[in-house]
Structures are given as structure tokens and as C-alpha cells.
Structure 1
Amino acid sequence: MPYSYTPHHFEDFEEGQTFESVGRTVTEYDFVMHSAFAGDWTELHTNKEYAEGEEFGERVAHGPMTFVLATGFVYRTGILERTVLAFLGMNYMDIPNPVHMDDTISLDMVVVETKDISSRDDAGLVVIDTTMTNQEDTVVFEGDMKFLIKKDEADE
């Protein structure tokens, strides 16, 4: 199964290593849940009549919702299950195109950096470049995600 990965400790990650998520269709429920959780009821995302008269001609996902979907894909692969200590941020993030309701999206990942941290014997830094595309291979999100990942206890 190409989409089922085992948890990875810091030592299991190598620069150039790739991962691919499963696909997922974005629904109206996702839009509503994000709005409710974030308290962001901007009409471009929640008012069909208003959004039809705007630039995209329909409701589109919130930018932060697009980011949250991307992080969810990383975690869904299982590679960080019980090994991630922290999400440390991003050096860059770009949302070049909107996510539309009923888009089917997925995420490609490439490990671009692994680094020991002098202040931590139990964990290291792993940076993963991510690219999320829709069913037409249109890029809807790009960014690098920095994680603090546990080292394998057997190596300590």
C-alpha cells in the first residue's frame, strides 16, 4: 500500500525522501466546521450568493483552512505518529490557487533537511517541503514544515 507509512523517528528521515498522502474531497461541512472553529464567517467562504458575484464565482476555502488541510495530510500518513514533539513553524507558505468545495486534494512531501539540535539529545529537526494539488494537478498550497522529531530510544 503506497499510502500507509509507519512512524518515523528522527533517524528514519533522509534528505530527498518522499511521501504521498491519500486524496480527500473537500465538502461544505469542512467549510462550516472551519468557520465555526475559527470564528471566521467571511462571506467569501460562507455566503453562496455573495461569493458567486466575486472573483472566483463561488465559495472558496479560507487560506488558513488550506494550511490546516495540508498539516492534516502530513499527520494522516502516519510518519509522525507518536514521534513528533512539536510543529516548529514554516520558512515559507504559499497559497497560489483557491481550494473549491468538492475539490479532491492530496499532498506530496519531500524531506529537505534533517539536523541535530545541540540543545536536544532526544530529538532533531526535520523539514518537509509540501505541495498540495487538486484533482486537476493545480497547486493550491506549498510550504516547508519544520518538525521536532523524537530520536529512536535504542540509539540514545
Structure 2
Amino acid sequence: MNSVYFEEYVVGRSRASTGRTITEADIVLHAGQTGDFYPHHMDAEWCKTQDFKQRIAHGTLVFAVAVGQTAGEINPEAFSYGYDRVRFVRPVFIGDTLHARCTVKEKRDDPKRPHLGVVVELVESINQRGETVLAAEHLLLVKRRSEP
């Protein structure tokens, strides 16, 4: 486990994950877990009559995969404070392979907790064609090496 303190985060630094292919099983399992059986995800015949002509993955599934792909690095000095500005930019279809890119976008003081800082990471899920399908800002509360 690497300990990375607030002062060590560098705006503009990126990391990328390996790929993960979205399967029909992913969509069916996600529908069962969430109760979202909306026909855009579950009804192949109905989808043939719609704009995309095929089933699309749940946005929340794509988000969950992206979060999982970016969670590989464990930093005991930081913890997730939440996600802002989640956008489902393009549809994801069965058979699409996604990888995540995480870029440090911003660092700022935490006005309530001077021993912590806020690091904002731009999380992007990118398909096999290089298209961004999801974008979100991940807020981390990160311990400072020393208080300001």
C-alpha cells in the first residue's frame, strides 16, 4: 500500500485501467440487483425498433464498472467523498470493452477539516473506439502530511 498525501497529488497526472468487456450477464445481473428491468436494457426485440437498434447497458452499471476499474490503488491516507457531475455521454452495448482513465483535475483546501485536502479526479470510461462513454468527478478527502 502506497501512502500518498495531499501534497503529493499532481494536477494533470493520469492513470489508466485495463479493459473489461460488458456482457449480457452483466446487464441481467445488474437489472436483478437494482430492479431496473427497463426495456432499453432487457428487451432485444423492442430495442430493434429504437434508435440504437440493440440493448444498452444501464448507466449505473457503466458507472459501477468505471469506479471498480479506478479503485485498484489503495491509499490509506485518502477516502472517497463522493462523485459529482456524472454524465452518461454515449451508450454502451453488449460486447463493448471499457477502460477507465483517472486524471487529477484539481486540489483544494477543505474548509472544515484543515488536516485534509480535497482532490478532484476526472474519471472517464472509454470504449474500444476511444470514445468517452461516461465522465464523472471523484472527490477524495486526503490527509495532509502536515497542517497548513
In the other structure, the counterpart of 1:105 is 98
The answer to whether the Cα contact below 8 Å between 1:85 and 1:150 also exists between their aligned partners in 2 is no
Q: Percent identity?
A: 28
Distance 1:101 1:7 in 2: 38
**DSSP 3-state at the match of 2:36:** coil
* TM-score, normalised via structure 2 length: 0.85
Give the distance between the partners of 1:83 and 1:36, measured in 2 at CA: 35
Residues 1:34 and 2:30 are matched in the alignment: yes
Retained in 2: the 8 A contact 1:112–1:128? yes
User: CA shift at 1:148, angstroms?
Assistant: 1.6
Aligned to 1:55: 51
1:88 and 1:148 in contact (8 A); partners too: no
Aligned ranges 1:6-85 → 2 under 5 Å: 6=2, 8-76=4-72, 78=73, 80-85=74-79
Structure-1 residue corresponding to 2:80: 86
- Residues 34-80 of structure 1 show CA distances to partners (whole Å, capped at 9, x for unaligned) of 1111111111101222222221111111122222222122213x1x4
Relative to structure 1, is the Cα distance of residues 89 and 52 closer, same or farther in structure 2, using a 3 angstrom cutoff?
same
State the distance in 1 between where 2:103 and 2:49 align.
38
| One-letter amino acid of the counterpart of residue 11, structure 1 | E
The 8 Å contact of residues 51 and 57 in structure 1, kept in 2 or not, is answered as yes
TM-score normalised by length of structure 1 = 0.81
Deviations 1:20-39 (A, max 9, x none): 11111111121112111111
2:128: which partner in 1?
A: 135
Q: Which structure 1 segments of 5+ residues have no match?
A: none
Q: How many residues align?
A: 147
Cα offset, 1:125, TM superposition: 0.7
How far apart in 1 are the matches of 2:34 and 2:8?
35
CA-atom RMSD in angstroms: 2.1
Within 2, Cα distance between the matches of 1:29 and 1:6?
34
